Amino acid sequence: MFNTQVRSVTVDIQASREQVWQILTDTARYAEWNPFTPQIDGRLLLGETLGLHVRMPKRGDRVQYEQLEIMQHAEAESSNLAWGMRVLSPLLLRALREQIIISTGPHSCQYYSTDSFSGLLSPLVYRLFQLDIQQGFDAVAHALKSRAESM
């Protein structure tokens, strides 16, 4: 089985883990700060279908498409937010995006995001979209840092 992963930069944020978690889970305000996924339709509840409106940086600034994903977990205690998708069968393609916040002090934390791909189609998807995803995830990390530190 093929496995690949895209990981964003890790940013140090001068705000508490709880403050950053609040921003990350307030999807109604994503258009105000999130350059990669400015809109999410649906609720961050286990098993819910989410409609992610995604901008692919390499393909221009407009929202490219709506990607349907299933909410996997939103755990405030561990500060881990994840959704994923599959194409027909997990044997063909499965993806899991995780966003992780790690407390580094009472008023500081780190944030990073990963997207793990597996299945027979994962090398092709990785090759086609890796740069878009990498740039998008890095932009989100920096934008989240700016948002949290300005509040």
pLDDT tens digit sequence for 7-46 = 999 999 999 999 999 999 999 999 999 999 999 999 999 9
CA 89 to chain centre: 22
Q: Which residue has the higher pLDDT, 93 or 56?
A: 93
| Angle at 131 (CA atoms; ends 130, 133), nearest 5 degrees | 65
Going from the C-alpha of 89 to that of each of 53, 93, 125, the distances in angstroms are 23, 7, 15
pTM of the complete model: 0.91
Q: Is the pLDDT of residue 1 over 60?
A: no
Q: What is the pLDDT of residues 42-66, one digit of tens each?
A: 999 999 999 999 887 666 655 566 7
Q: Which residues contact 127 (CB under 8 A, 6 or more apart)?
A: none
Share of the chain above pLDDT 90, in %: 69
pLDDT computed for residue 69 by the predictor: 94
* Helix (H/G/I), strand (E/B), else coil: 145: helix
Per the CB < 8 A criterion, the answer to whether 113 and 95 are in contact is no
pLDDT computed for residue 59 by the predictor: 63
Rounded distance, CA 32 to CA 102, Å? 23
Cα torsion angle, 143, 56, 129, 98, sign:
positive
Residues 126-135 have a mean pLDDT of: 89
